[in-house]
Structure 1
Amino acid sequence: MSSKICLTGIKPTGMPHLGNYMGAIKPAIETANKGEFKGYYFIADYHSLITIHNGDQLRSDIREVAAAWLASGLDPKKVVLYKQSDIPEILELNWIINCFTAKGLMNRAHAYKAAVQTNTENGKDEDQGVNLGLFTYPILMAADILHINSDIVPVGEDQLQHIEIARDIASSFNHAYKKDFFKLPKAIVAEGENKLLPGLDGRKMSKSYNNHIPLLLPEKKLQKTINKIVTDSTGPEEPKDPNNSLIFDMYKFFSSNEEQEAFAKRFREGIGWGHAKAELFNVVNREVAPIRAEYDKLLADPGYIDTVLKDGADAVREVSSRQLAEIKKLIGVS
């Protein structure tokens, strides 16, 4: 195994959807299980405090997302899975690197700029509803990355700015103490990031659009949800273009080349939308059924999930406590 550290953050926002699974969970687990890097996967529960202010909900979301990743094949014997809030060194480092971060850098952060723009467009004060958690979110993310001196961070294109900010903060710290203490983390954009699983209405699958398909729905609810996919009024006997079909687009994510060729042939010969949705359900359910079964089993044993997260936190703190001790010595507080 490489000595390089690969870090992945997982925000607990309840049950993931199929787009999360195909675009992030599945490829991340495949990468982790190859053992090419030291893999660290953390549940970013403190980040969730920006918007979630209900303790019971957050506790439930943390367990659900941990169970979903474990059920999807994340092996805690091969990678380290931990909860952000179990690592106090992250928050201590967060304050330290706050003191090396220019406010102007935060003014340019995408999430803050988007909130300001929305307020301005609606005739509100530009900072209405903006808490400091949202404003300084990229600094906490930098602390997540730097507390174990991560080498690479797989992200979507919308997160690239955060890695650049982490690099800027690390460079500022290194410059101040004339020492290459922090590595400059490198962003890795996952292959196929531009080929996202569409939602029920053809847009990118997203909870904010309410067009998503939850990953671990029971079979009957999964089928009912797939039946909501938007289609046109073409009759069952009429030929259809598979390359201009939302159902076929989604089918490709869960099927083999041979299955796609056979399905495309049925489109061109004429297939009813109900039958097409049934075929899509079959391949999706084939993929998620074993994950669903393992997920239900894990949620029935929350003690196991808690043990995995505690063991992960213990392993991480061996690294982060040494790192923080060196930082504190360097800055002069110990």
Structure 2
Amino acid sequence: MDTTTTQSAEKRRVLTGITTTGTPHLGNYVGAIRPAIEASRDANNESFYFLADLHALIKCHEPQRVQESRREIAATWLALGLDTDNAVFYRQSDVPEITELTWLLTCVCAKGLMNRAHAYKAAVQENEADSSADPDKGITMGLFSYPILMAADILMFNATDVPVGRDQIQHIEMARDVAQRFNHIYQGQFFKLPEARIEESVAVLNGLDGRKMSKSYNNTIPLFEPEKKLLKLIRKIKTNSLEPGEPKETEGCTLFQIWQAFADEGQVADMRLRYENGIGWGEMKNELFELVNSQIQAPRARYVELMNDMGYVEEVMKKGAEKARDHASPLMAQLRKAVGFGAFV
């Protein structure tokens, strides 16, 4: 049977969401935003990008923080050149069909499947390690069942490709499981089975302290910091005590890792040689600042303009929601009919 989406057989439908709980940083840019924007320019792809603000409520109960993050992330994607004529760019909370689908999927999803979710298991193990009498202490139903919301994000648009890190593969497998179960129970091919797209070439950046750059570790370098603040943060990146003139290893060096994410092949080869020749850490940090700043200078200026023109950004998001709902509404109508809903006449 036909599904709702008017998707050509040749095109792959790519979907990416970013949770609205923090300010976009360099790691977000090279790991998710930059490759997503590049993918949106591929004529063989249909691209869906969304602000995952419903997911934000799972771990953040600070309305002001969520709202500011939504603004910053929307402005960031637009400033970096996302073509909203070719890509569907929307806020998750603007598409009520997603929450309705979440409930339909919840009603066919086995609890045992959710029991195996990594985030839930980790929270239970943490409680048990603290000798809590209640292994579910502090665990909300949002945390427990958020893989179902993620499945609805994907299946609502019948995405074929979902770029994720290896730690997120389980969620794609769960989405496939739930889709197959719904298709089986209601005897139709309503959902395509999504595939995890693991981008081995996409960089994962370390932060100021050498751990993975993450707002959880408070070690990030915000993408659009003013020049002076950007330089100050880069100078704070942790290094070893080797002096200028002493050969240095590129492997495991945060400075070189970030350099590699922004530089071309020739610049990377040149910097490897300079490491062998003992470039000083201060010089390297200054060089890194110049490289990064040269690439984000123009988008930063555009970002500032957009943050001061939220009326324009809001109009873009509203149009994106309309496009998203144009895809979602027909499928939702089919699903309602499939489960026994709809008008009596």
| TM-score in terms of structure 2 length | 0.92
- Cα distance, 1:320–1:241 mapped onto 2, change above 3 Å: closer
Name the CA distance, whole Å, in 1 between partners of 2:198 and 2:304: 31
SS at match of 2:41: helix
1:104 is aligned to 2:112:
yes
> Do the aligned partners of 1:6 and 1:150 also contact (CA within 8 Å) in 2?
yes
Q: 1:242 to 1:3 in 2, by over 3 A?
A: closer
Is 1:225 paired with 2:249?
Answer: no
Q: 1:179 to 1:219 in 2, by over 3 A?
A: same
Identical positions, percent = 51
1:332 to 1:16, Cα distance in 2 relative to 1, 3 A = same
Contact 2:21 2:65 in 1 (8 A): no
Deviation at 1:61, TM superposition (A): 0.9
**Structure 2 letter corresponding to 1:256:** D
| Aligned with residue 151 of structure 2, among 142, 162, 165 | 142
Mapped partners of 1:78, 1:87: distance in 2? 19
* Matched residue, 1:269: 277
Preserved contact between residue 71 and residue 292 of structure 1 (Cα < 8 Å): yes
Superposition deviation, residue 243 in structure 1: 4.2
In structure 2, give the amino acid aligned to 1:30.
E
**What is the CA-CA distance between 1:3 and the residue it aligns to?**
4.4
Runs of 4 or more off by more than 4 Å in structure 1? none
Residue pairs, 1:33-72, within 5 angstroms: 33-72=41-80
Q: Could you tell me which of 194, 197, 202 is aligned with 1:188?
A: 197
Equivalent position of 2:296 in the other structure:
288
1:142-196 per-position Cα deviation (integer Å, ceiling 9, x unaligned): 1111122222211111111111111111111111122222111111112325x42
Q: Paired residue for 1:333?
A: 341
Asked if structure 1 preserves the Cα contact closer than 8 Å seen for 2:205 and 2:254, the reply is no
Corresponding position of 2:17: 9
In structure 1, what is the Cα distance between the partners aligned to 2:19 and 2:161? 18
Q: 1:247-281 deviations in whole A, cap 9, x for unaligned?
A: 22321111122222333333333332111111111
Q: How far apart are the structure 1 equivalents of 2:39 and 2:252?
A: 32
TM superposition score normalised by structure 1: 0.95
The structure-2 alpha-carbon separation of the partners of 1:146 and 1:269, relative to structure 1 and needing over 3 Å to count, comes to closer
Shift of 1:301: 0.5
Alignment partner, residue 179 of structure 2? 170
SS at 1:276 equivalent: helix
Given the alignment of the two structures, is residue 239 of structure 1 paired with residue 247 of structure 2, yes or no? Answer: yes
- Measured at CA, do residues 112 and 244 of structure 1 come closer, stay the same or move farther in structure 2, by a change above 3 Å? closer
Which residues in structure 2 correspond to 1:114-153 (within 5 Å)? 114-124=122-132, 125-153=134-162
Contact 1:7 1:41 in 2 (8 A): yes
Using a 3 Å threshold, how does the CA distance of structure 1 residues 245 and 48 change in structure 2: closer, same or farther? closer
* Cα separation, 1, equivalents of 2:11 and 2:264: 35
- Cα RMSD between the aligned structures? 1.6
The aligned amino acid for 1:303 is G
Letter in 1 for 2:97: E
Structure 1 residue 319: Cα displacement: 1.5
